[in-house]
Structure 1
Amino acid sequence: MDMIPVLRPKLAGYDKIKPYLERMDESRWYANFGPLLNEFEARVASCLHVTPDMLTTAGNGTLMLTTILNALEIPKGSYCIMPSWTFIATAAATVSAGLTPLFADVDLRSQALDPIYLLEIINKIPKPIGAIIAVAPFGAPIDIDKWDNFTDRTGIPVVIDAAAGFDTMSQANLMSAGRSPCMLSLHATKVFGIGEGGIAISTNTSLIRLIKTLTGYGFNQDREAVKPGINAKLSEYSAAVGLAGMDMLEDTMAAWKATINHYITLLNHYKIEHLLSREFATSTCNVILPNMNDVIADKLKAQNIDTRKWWLMGCHQHLAYRHFPKLSSLPSTEWLGKSVLGLPLSTDLSQNQIERIVTQLHQNMLACSESVSNVA
């Protein structure tokens, strides 16, 4: 029986992209904020319920997160409070921006930082605090208004890492743009991907203009570098893929949600805790297997079902980041690292494959529970 891969990205095909490539060749404009990119940004802005001046793009999500932090002009070496329970790109961007990660624990239920708790302890946290990165875990919505309020009360800027949150932000009732800049990833593994790309969204249009300037060497209209920027621009080739993807976005999201809904029905039937929602699409199917994700992953692999611990044991456990400070002990992060497991998820996963995955998972969980009971 063939292995079921944990993820099978599918972007727009050549036939869908070709008309945009022909337009690019006709204009002979291949990079540097070209007409295809302008059109792509305008269409994405409309999809995400913001005006085009509230959005800009970069070559990938990590570059965008770094650029946002640089645009905030935070003193180098300042602490950036961030969850350890996130993908390693969050920490990488923080260090690239010259800041010091200060790893904090997350709320066990939401798997996100709690702004109310941070407000309560803010005076006890080591200084200087330059910024906070709040992560929307696996695309789940977080309340940006609360983080805007946090900044109003403390003066500390907040950046939202919503890498997997494209569909979430396309539904304004779930998570809408605020002053705190928000980063979305356009990586091929996301529900809406273009290969590589990143988006910044904020109602602070001055900040968005600065972020865009920084992605283009810091040039002003006269090609004078007024800020120390980098080359992080999204090319016309990427914009062509993005425009083709926007043309088929409705069908793409319908396919994601059909797969997710079938998963939810089966997981709920077997009373398996999971992070999926019928309200928004995400490209990862994470289940909660208390303190036994490694054991279950090994069993599923032997049954030709691939899995992934997407965030492993948290950023603070990676060799490159172990020396950075922690705000406190991280019991929730450590428990999640032993308990969260990603199952296969893709738009063309068949109902039979999903049934096979969930049935095997349930049987393996029962076997593990019986083994523990026998030992006890």
Structure 2
Amino acid sequence: MLPGGAAAVKHGRNLWSDSGAGGSGLLLNRPAASIPVCRPLLPPAASISRYIERIDESRRYANFAPLVLELKRRLAEAKGLQETQLAVVSSGTQALMLALRLLAPNGGLCMVPSWTFAATPGAAHWAGLTPWFVDIDRDAWALTPALAREALRSAPGPVSAVVPVSPFGAAVPCPEWDDFRDATGIPVVIDAAAAWDALEPGRAPAVVSLHATKALGVGEAGVVVSTDAALIAQVEERGNFGLYGSRISQSIGINGKLAEHTAAVGLAALDEWPTRRLRWIDNACRYRAGIGDLVTFPPGFAEHAVATCVVQNPWTTAEELGRELEAAGIGTLRWWQEACHRHPAFAGMPRLPAPESERAAAMTLGLPMTPDLSIADIDYVVDAVRIVLGADR
């Protein structure tokens, strides 16, 4: 433990007093307004307007209209894919539901890590599966193929699908999960909600969210990518009432189509993506340089663009650290506040012991990470974290 680490936390608001015993004086340099933990910034109206004008001209607002098709093409090109290897849908959760329903249509258990956002097991449930919670690897912050193989030995019933999750935009080893499916015969759907920049597509469908809080955000949308073009075609069919190339339903589907106005925002977001991407990475690098000796970041943090700065530390709980930082005017958030098996919505679902998931939930905290976060604000947060953890006391 760092000198003064535990004691520093117990001092509470005295940490921030401008003078007196135990005060750091940090508040003398406090920004004029509190620093929000998350404040999404979509492209401005001026950047979107030229795409809106095209919608006005075409009078096409949905049903795979021109801007949706252009967005699909540009997203595919960004990942080195053919247009037939990527589908765009109305939300990331809808994308998970469609992929799971397609690959595991007969129900059964869906293996999911207990430490994830509630959308993951929720999508499994709505796809007709029963979430089965398993633990994560401490270093990977995620369910790994090796852990999944081990968990299968204790499965309480037939396992119809596995959903590994990218923790806060970290890369997912897609080839290893393809090998897992080949070896076990169990379909894999990858929840890569925040991992657009880090994603290396494989055969297993990977689902990315384009929610406003993501590094590449459009408001609300989802993407499914896979090198298996036939699978993507089926996702698009199921997301269009089962219609594909005719007005006759080939399968029972839902309405998961993306609206043309949302695609307009997406195209404007792609126009500014190179600049925005570098800004996200610059912010992450400054955080890593400032507190990387005190906290642990998700694997690959600052190597790819992510819209969150999530940290774990061995000295305080997320609740304690968050309380101290909030007192200094710094917004924080426990993005995945509890392991999912602790949520009332999933009480009674089958699960294996998940000590690493519970540890991660208790020790993980989101720090401010916004597109327009200034260097001064990051440095202020860095100084505050160092004071709370006792490094500079």
* TM-score, structure 2 as length reference: 0.89
Map of 1:180 onto structure 2:
204
Are the equivalent residues in 1 in contact too, given 2:35–2:368 (CA < 8 A)? yes
Amino acid at match of 1:150: F
Q: Give the Cα separation in 2 of the matches to 1:7 and 1:198.
A: 20
Q: 2:94 aligns with which of 63, 68, 84?
A: 63
Amino acid at match of 2:304: F
Gaps of 5+ in 1: 170-175, 371-376
1:119 Cα deviation after fit:
2.2
Q: 2:361 aligns with which of 337, 349, 370?
A: 337
Amino acid at match of 1:71: L
Are the equivalent residues in 2 in contact too, given 1:218–1:225 (CA < 8 A)? yes
Q: Secondary structure at the match of 1:3?
A: coil
1:116 Cα deviation after fit:
1.9
Q: Give the Cα separation in 2 of the matches to 1:194 and 1:7.
A: 15
Q: 1:11 aligns with which of 31, 42, 47?
A: 42
Q: Give the Cα separation in 2 of the matches to 1:361 and 1:220.
A: 54
Q: Percent identity?
A: 38
Q: Give the Cα separation in 2 of the matches to 1:149 and 1:45.
A: 24
Q: 1:324 aligns with which of 343, 346, 349?
A: 349
Q: 2:222 aligns with which of 183, 198, 221?
A: 198
Map of 2:328 onto structure 1:
303
Q: 1:354 aligns with which of 375, 378, 385?
A: 378
Are the equivalent residues in 2 in contact too, given 1:74–1:131 (CA < 8 A)? no
Q: Secondary structure at the match of 2:51?
A: helix
Q: How much is the aligned-residue C-alpha RMSD, in angstroms?
A: 1.5
Q: Give the Cα separation in 1 of the matches to 2:296 and 2:152.
A: 33
Deviations 1:231-274 (A, max 9, x none): 11001101111111111111111111121111111113x53322
Deviations 1:20-76 (A, max 9, x none): 111111011000001111111000001011111000011110011001111114312
Map of 2:119 onto structure 1:
89
The count of aligned residue pairs is 360
Q: 2:70 aligned with 1:39, yes or no?
A: yes
Q: Secondary structure at the match of 1:167?
A: coil
4+ residue segments displaced more than 3 Å? none
Q: Give the Cα separation in 1 of the matches to 2:295 and 2:131.
A: 34
Q: 2:85 aligned with 1:54, yes or no?
A: yes
Q: Give the Cα separation in 2 of the matches to 1:167 and 1:73.
A: 28
Gaps of 5+ in 2: 1-31
Map of 1:167 onto structure 2:
197
Q: Structure 1 104/121 Cα, relative in aligned 2: closer, same or farther at 3 Å? A: closer
**Greater Cα offset, 32-41 or 270-279:** 270-279
Amino acid at match of 1:116: A
Amino acid at match of 2:116: T
Amino acid at match of 2:164: A
Map of 1:374 onto structure 2:
none
* TM-score, structure 1 as length reference: 0.93
Deviations 1:89-124 (A, max 9, x none): 101101110100000000011011121232245243
1:148 Cα deviation after fit:
0.6
Map of 2:154 onto structure 1:
124
Are the equivalent residues in 1 in contact too, given 2:337–2:361 (CA < 8 A)? yes
1:289 Cα deviation after fit:
2.2
Map of 2:279 onto structure 1:
255
Q: Structure 1 71/107 Cα, relative in aligned 2: closer, same or farther at 3 Å? A: same
